[in-house]
Structure 1
Amino acid sequence: MTPETAYADLRAQLDALTTEAFRPDLAEIDRLPTLEIARLMNAEDATVPAAVAAQLEPIAAAVDAIAERMARGGRLVYAGAGTAGRLGVLDASECPPTFNTDPAQVVGLIAGGPGAMAAAVEGAEDSPELAAADLTALALTAADTVVGVSASGRTPYAIGAVTFARTRGALTVGLSCNAGSALAAAAEHGIEVVVGPELLTGSTRLKAGTAQKLVLNLISTVTMIRLGKTYGNLMVDVRATNDKLRARSRRIVALATGAPDAEIEAALTATGGEVKNAILVLLAGVDGPTAAALLTAAHGHLREALAAAR
């Protein structure tokens, strides 16, 4: 295939994508007052949650499958290029402080490696082989899950990640913002959040990026709830790595137990600062080692540990 033919083929692909569609009604947006542009953009953004809502059933099905694998020790791996890759890395990086996960338990891969977080790496997104190499470096197994993320749903790196993952028996999810995408077709679980044309033609860091951020939040958060990382809506597995989080830890124990400050401090001291264990100490009237043993037997689920203690 000549460069000219390849370019024509790629242009035809882009012309067919909803996320790349041109909006004639916005052709003179640059001539509008700043406030009016802001109103238009805000109105566009307001349509995203409804598009996500239309995909809640496939999202929930994917989450249940992911949680089942992770409960058996599997990892959650996001793979994408550009904005999609950065959003995956962001979501993964927030899991350890929020849910006390091991940094290797939720991983974000971006085409071109860590340097691509801040600057584009030419050609990286066009290489399915690069995705296979990145997953090979992680020693991907059948216990893991790979979520390919791509606004267009045609990015070779994301499709390559999902395709390679299936050869290893891993669970696969394809998240895109176009219907009938190659990415969704390549994965066991397809999630297609169709947000429509962007305010700026083809700028998928806008509505498509917002949609992907919302879905990744859903995937990680609900998966962690299913894994027992919360107690009600309290982040009982939060890792206290700074003053703010240490204060939050104490507040979470207080909200869960209603105990006075002195008892909270004693419980946290007895459990090495582990919030979930401290709550169990206070609510079940057990000591630190017993709380740890109960939680281990309950696979980290605080409600189950409390039931066993009573």
Structure 2
Amino acid sequence: MDFIKTTESESHYSNLEQMSISELLQNINTEDKTVPNAVENALPQIHGLVEQVVAKLKQGGRLFYIGAGTSGRLGIVDASECPPTFGVSHDLVIGLIAGGDSAIRKAVEFAEDSKEQGWSDLQEYKISEEDVVVGIAASGTTPYVIGALEQCNANNIVTGCITCNQNSPLALTAKFPIEVVVGPEFVTGSSRMKAGTAQKLVLNMITTATMIQLGRVKGNKMVDMQLSNNKLVERGIKMIMDEINIGSEEAKQLLDTHKSVRSAIQAYNGNK
């Protein structure tokens, strides 16, 4: 099948500037509703990549996301949320973006066009066969990402990708590609919209499923979350109350003493 970049295809809508606010919002929402179905179609591919990630992380490896622009930022967001949500090290899931950390806030011109820089950035982390590298690019044509995955393949490192075009160069490079084909954007070519939403949904799936498989959730609770603000402390107290059927004051004392929901519950059960 020929490669057609549907993320750049003409919008189904025209004369956007003539639409009312209500019409704009309704039409954007109509397009957004198609994204979960596109993700559902990619579930077998997502399953295949998650299996690889779980296996490597259980053996002591790490998960790397690498991307440019919106795709790179989404990978960094997902990686940065793993430590507070699941209590894992900041070194377990790592997000890299073309142009470095300054590109998180402000676009760095032409940073994505180097086929060598992505691999160079990965090497700073002493990337090895123990790790998994997932390239993120809505277009599936970003040189920074493709070059990095090509070098990973050459060094026997498991590679995956998240892209929104079928049979893209990136998907053909990754050993475990995920292709979520969302079609044309409401604003032609604005892949921060449906494509970005699709990528975020897939990233949520990858890390959430992986962390559950690694034992970082008990029942349906984030028992290893970092207690980094009052809201999370209150949530932790309620988790302990619900799990071992005690009052709020005793739960608070347990949490104050043991500094984590899991440890508090284990200590209480161990002392019974």
Partner of residue 33, structure 1:
20
Taking the aligned partners of 1:246 and 1:169, their CA distance within structure 2 comes to 43
Q: Deviations over 1:210-267 (max 9, x none)?
A: 0000000111111101000001210011011222221221122222222222432343
Q: Is the 8 A contact 1:59 1:191 kept in 2?
A: yes
Tell me whether 1:22 sits opposite 2:7 in the alignment. no
Q: Does 1:86 align with 2:61?
A: no
Match of 1:228 in 2: 215
Which residue of structure 1 aligns with residue 160 of structure 2?
A: 173
CA offset digits 1:248-299 (Å, max 9, x no partner): 211222222222224323433443x1211212223x3348xxxxxxxxxxxx
Task: Provide the TM-score with structure 2 as the length reference.
Answer: 0.95
| Residue type at the aligned position of 1:21 | S
In 2, Cα distance between equivalents of 1:268 and 1:42: 42
In 2, the alpha carbon distance for the partners of 1:111 and 1:129 equals 11
Letter in 1 for 2:80: S
Cross-structure match for 1:141: 128
CA distance in 1, matches of 2:5, 2:209: 30
C-alpha separation between the residues in 2 aligned to 1:207 and 1:143?
Answer: 33
Contact 2:7/2:185, CA 8 A, preserved across alignment: yes
The residue that corresponds to 1:70 in the other structure is: 57
| 2:250 equivalent to 1:263 | yes
Instruction: Find 1:205's aligned residue among 184, 192, 212.
Output: 192
AA partner of residue 217 (structure 1): N
Measure the CA separation in 1 of the matches of 2:225 and 2:270: 22
Letter of the 1:281 partner, please give it: A
Aligned 8 A contact 1:67 1:223 in 2: yes
Instruction: List aligned pairs for 1:1-310, cutoff 5 A.
Output: 16-23=4-11, 25-271=12-258, 273-282=259-268, 284-286=269-271
> Which runs of 5 or more residues in structure 2 are unaligned?
none
Higher helix content, 1 or 2: 1
Q: Amino acid of the residue matched to residue 176 of structure 2?
A: H
Equivalent pair of 1:146/1:162 in contact (CA under 8 Å): yes
Rg comparison, structure with higher value:
1
| Secondary structure in 1 matching 2:116 | helix
Listed one character per residue, the Cα deviations across residues 25-59 of structure 1 (whole Å, up to 9, x for unaligned) are 42212111110111000100011000001111111
Could you tell me whether the CA contact under 8 Å between 1:140 and 1:168 is conserved in 2?
no
Give the SS at the match of 1:128.
coil
User: Is the CA contact (8 Å cut-off) linking 2:135 and 2:149 kept in structure 1?
Assistant: yes
Q: SS where residue 234 of structure 1 aligns?
A: coil
2:155 & 2:250 partners in 1: Cα distance?
A: 50
User: Using the alignment, how far apart are the partners of 1:278 and 1:37 within structure 2?
Assistant: 50
1:20 Cα deviation after fit = 0.2
What is the DSSP-based 3-state SS (H/G/I as helix, E as strand, rest coil) of the residue aligned with 1:172? strand
2:50 & 2:234 partners in 1: Cα distance?
31
The amino acid across from 2:9 in the alignment is: A
Provide structure 1 residue ranges, at least 5 long, that are not aligned to the other structure.
Answer: 1-12, 288-310
Q: Is the 8 A contact 2:236 2:255 kept in 1?
A: no
Q: What percentage of aligned pairs have identical amino acids?
A: 44
Contact (CA 8 Å) 1:176, 1:184: kept in 2 or not? yes
- Offset at residue 77 of structure 1 (A): 0.6
Q: Is the 8 A contact 1:22 1:197 kept in 2?
A: yes
Q: Is the 8 A contact 1:166 1:172 kept in 2?
A: yes
Q: For 2:59 and 2:244, how far apart are their aligned partners in 1? A: 30
